[in-house]
Amino acid sequence: MAKIWRRSDRLKVKIGEVVLTLAPLNNHEKSEIASLMAKGTINQDFNALRSGSILSVKYSVKSISGVLDQDDKPYELKFEGEYLTEECLNDLFNLGITKQITQVCAALVKNVPDEFTDDKGNKLEGVEILKKDVPEKNV
């Protein structure tokens, strides 16, 4: 039986030592990101591609663990409403695993996959789905 992903459902993904909790994207978010990615690919526009990547992270990341700040305290995400702040996005894009984070978040434009792969269909190295919080039945 097929299972549906609600916006309130969460997916935990481990990338190296970092664990991200992600939310599925809504149709508006998917369209906005896909439009930027398509524009970037067709026009070879790096800024559009980068903007699409940034939005995919902004819209999908809901929590993070396994990251310390410079004071050796657990790094805490900051939000404006339901989305990450610009300051927080800048911080995340300074992690050594930025490429994997953006690949994972951008993959959510299509759907919530069983595993994350690169553009060639190869499983992303060091990326593991820990938990899918999917409802067992519609209530």
β-strand partners of 12 = 21, 131
Contacts of 94 (CB under 8 A, 6+ apart): none
The helix (run of H) or strand (run of E) holding residue 48 is helix 46-60
Q: Which of 115, 117, 106 is nearest to 59 (CA)?
A: 106
pLDDT tens track for 94-109 = 999 999 999 999 999 9
Task: Report whether 49 contacts 40 (CB < 8 A).
Answer: yes
Q: With beta carbons less than 8 A apart as the criterion, state whether 33 and 50 touch.
A: no
Backbone angles phi, psi at 62, to 5 degrees: -120, -25
Residues contacting 27, CB < 8 A, separation 6+: none
pLDDT band per the 50, 70, 90 thresholds, residue 121: confident
Say what the pTM is: 0.88
Q: Of all residues in the chain, what percent carry a pLDDT higher than 70?
A: 94
pLDDT over threshold 50, residue 136: no
Burial class (CB in 10 A: 0-12, 13-18, 19+), 105: buried
